[in-house]
Amino acid sequence: MSGTDNEFAASLSEAVRQHIEDATGIDGLQRLSGGASQETWAFDATTSKGAPVPLILRRAPGGTRAEKTTAVALETEAVLIELAEEAGIPVPKVRHVLTPEDGVGQGFIMNRLTGETIARKILRDEEYAETRPKLARQCGEILARLHRIDKERLPALRTADAKEEIRQYHAALRDHGHPHPVFELAFRWLEDNLPAGDTGLTLVHGDFRNGNLMIGADGVRGVLDWELAHVGDPMEDLGWICVNSWRFGNIDQPVGGFGVREDMFAGYEAVSGQPVDPERVKFWEVLGTLKWGIMCTGMVAAFKSGLDPSVERATIGRRSSETEIDLLRLLAPRI
């Protein structure tokens, strides 16, 4: 380890001793792959009783939150996870929210769950063959509980209904400075098909999809990555998990590549007591597909400008063409 790394590990070890019961230090600290905007570190807290406690540190890059970001603050994310736990949603338990006195940076420490988050393993490994048929309904049940969380208890979050999402992403596309006729067609369709009426706005996870769910043999064990949470149309979450990019090749299984919409809707309705409007969900699937396409063009722009010269950004950026095909399939008249 470099001197900086040693200092970070020492500060984290002291924070764990101070805030985790019976902890004497840390062991096995390693940074995990994944997580484009936040750092994720796995480690064990050693204890005076001998049994280690498996933990995760979720931290701002380098310990400091970027000034310009749409992600919620990590302290806010921790509050949302705690509210979700109270609502019966499977999440890792938050053990400590970092303070400046800890010297580790901005972030929080939570329990480390066991299970799988890699979507292709979840969709293809025999280990999850009996689990996959359960997941769509479980996702519906979880989202219904999430959307029932009392808004009065929420920390400060941005509010973004359909009109605001359309405005924000249309502006982003123009800023990228590259024409995408299919995206413009999708914007026109969205404006012509804004859902009638005003669904009561709720907490929205914002990135509820295969890849952000911890899956075990018993199904969903944890809902992760709350950084895009906001107040909005609850059907946004149901549409987002159906975006084709999150099916990872299993295009005939629209819910995360593992299930069908009808099962997800049934789970949602059983818990919420409210009927799901499939056309409203489709609207958000179209908007979600468009959003992901524009996010991809943003990665191309960041790569070309030198702001982020990583090969990962360039590779993901090319996927905007895939979303154009998905949009044409969604918008084509059904015969």
Residue type, 320: S
**Same domain membership, residue 124 and residue 86:** no
Identify each DSSP E strand in 181-264 by its residue range. 202-204, 213-216, 219-223, 230-232
**Same domain membership, residue 265 and residue 187:** yes
**Same domain membership, residue 179 and residue 72:** no
**Same domain membership, residue 232 and residue 190:** yes
Mean pLDDT of 15-38: 87
- For residue 334, pLDDT beyond 70: no
Q: What is the pLDDT of residues 205-224, one digit of tens each?
A: 999 999 999 999 999 999 99
Mean pLDDT of 155-160: 95
**Same domain membership, residue 39 and residue 70:** yes
- The CATH number of the domain holding residue 296 is 3.90.1200.10
**Same domain membership, residue 181 and residue 308:** yes
Identify each DSSP E strand in the chain by its residue range. 23-31, 39-47, 53-59, 94-97, 107-111, 202-204, 213-216, 219-223, 230-232
Q: Looking at residue 124, what is its pLDDT?
A: 97
Domain that holds residue 93: 3-111
Q: In angstroms, rounded to a whole number, what is the distance separating the alpha carbons of residues 168 and 204?
A: 17
**Same domain membership, residue 222 and residue 90:** no
Q: Looking at residue 176, what is its pLDDT?
A: 84
Q: Looking at residue 35, what is its pLDDT?
A: 53
Residue 335 binned pLDDT confidence (cut-offs 50, 70, 90): very low
Mean pLDDT of 269-277: 96
For CA atoms 280, 284, 289, 294, give the dihedral sign.
Answer: positive
Q: Which of 70, 91, 111 is the last residue of a domain?
A: 111
Mean pLDDT of 162-190: 93
**Same domain membership, residue 157 and residue 59:** no
Q: What is the pLDDT of residues 187-210, one digit of tens each?
A: 999 999 998 866 689 999 999 999
Give the count of domains, the chain.
2
Outline where 177-231 has alpha helix (H).
Answer: 181-192
In this predicted model, which residue has the larger pLDDT, 34 or 255?
Answer: 255
**Same domain membership, residue 103 and residue 140:** no
Q: Looking at residue 70, what is its pLDDT?
A: 67
Q: Is the pTM of this model over 0.75?
A: yes
Q: Which of 111, 130, 154 is the last residue of a domain?
A: 111
Q: In angstroms, rounded to a whole number, what is the distance separating the alpha carbons of residues 254 and 242?
A: 5
Q: Which helix (H) or strand (E) holds 3?
A: helix 3-19
List Cβ neighbours of 251 (8 Å cut-off, separation of 6 or more). Answer: 244
Q: Could you tell me which residues are beta bridge partners of residue 232?
A: 202
Q: Looking at residue 66, what is its pLDDT?
A: 61
**Same domain membership, residue 164 and residue 54:** no
Q: In angstroms, rounded to a whole number, what is the distance separating the alpha carbons of residues 43 and 54?
A: 6
**Same domain membership, residue 187 and residue 100:** no
**Same domain membership, residue 280 and residue 230:** yes
Q: Looking at residue 313, what is its pLDDT?
A: 72
Q: Looking at residue 38, what is its pLDDT?
A: 84
Q: Which of 95, 111, 127 is the last residue of a domain?
A: 111
- The CATH number of the domain holding residue 75 is 3.30.200.20
Residue type, 168: Q
Mean pLDDT of 84-99: 98
Other C-beta atoms lying within 10 Å of the C-beta of residue 60: 19
- For residue 2, pLDDT beyond 70: no
Q: What is the pLDDT of residues 242-256, one digit of tens each?
A: 999 999 999 999 999
- For residue 13, pLDDT beyond 70: yes
In this predicted model, which residue has the larger pLDDT, 63 or 76?
Answer: 76
